[in-house]
Amino acid sequence: MEKQYVTLKVNGKEYEFPVGTRIGEIPDSETLSQTLRNRLELTGSKESCGEGACGCCTVILDGDAVTSCMLLTVECEGKDIITIEGLADPITGELDPIQQAFIDYYSFQCGYCTPGIIMASKALLDKNPHPTQEELAEALSGNYCRCISHYTVMEALNSIAGNKEA
């Protein structure tokens, strides 16, 4: 039988994985979150609920924010994926403006939810650089923070969006 492969572009780099159940192969049941974290060591995206409810595992797939625990890797053939590790400038190390704003506004406490919130924000701001506070809140409605950092998250994002609430 002909060998099956799945190809992913992650943070600008192409990866090809054999599909199957032997060691080193990707089984049909493996999630994108598991592939990113366990095979590519991109552990910035966190896994918490594992069922699409918390947003901690959010990455950007073909321009949209997605919960990577809810996608099977074999279904991501040919997709362009960006994780939190892909936001900073690869040459200079300069942070994405969203990352810098989160630092400037102290927009996290334990930080477990933060990569997911930043990626959901990034997906919105790439499409709409000046969202209203309501649009920001809607885009983050699937991202939960147990430390209640929402207020400072909104301050950081309002500053980038140019909203007067900042």
Number of residues located near ligand FES, criterion CB under 6 A: 23
**Of the ranges 18-26, 87-95, 106-114, 122-130, which one interacts with ligand FES (CB under 6 A)?**
106-114
CB of 143 to ligand FES, least distance (A): 9
84 binds ligand FES, rule: CB under 6 A: no
Instruction: Candidates 6-14, 36-44, 95-103, 108-116: pick the segment binding ligand FES (CB under 6 A).
Output: 108-116
For residue 111, state whether it binds ligand FES (rule: CB under 6 A).
Answer: yes
**What length is written for the chain?**
166
> Can residue 149 be called a binding residue for ligand FES (CB under 6 A)?
yes
Part in contact with ligand FES (CB under 6 A); list of ranges 1-9, 48-56, 73-81, 84-92: 48-56
State yes or no: residue 49 binds ligand FES (CB under 6 A): yes
Residue labelled with tokens 């039988």: 1
Which residues contact residue 83 at a Cβ distance below 8 angstroms, ignoring those fewer than 6 apart? 10, 11, 36, 42, 44, 45, 59, 60, 115, 119
φ, ψ of residue 67 to 5 degrees: the values are -90, 115
Least distance (Å) from ligand FES to the CB of residue 68? Answer: 7
From 1-9, 14-22, 42-50, 121-129, span contacting ligand FES (CB under 6 A): 42-50
Which lies closer to ligand FES via its Cβ, residue 69 or residue 124?
Answer: 69
H or E stretch including 61?
strand 58-61
Instruction: Find all residues with CB under 8 Å of 46, minimum gap 6, and list them.
Output: 56, 57, 112, 113, 115, 116
Measuring CA to CA, which residue among 99, 123, 101 is closest to residue 44? 99
Q: From CA 30, how far away is CA 98, in angstroms rounded?
A: 30
User: Interface with ligand FES by CB under 6 A: which residues?
Assistant: 47-50, 52-57, 67, 69, 108-114, 145-147, 149
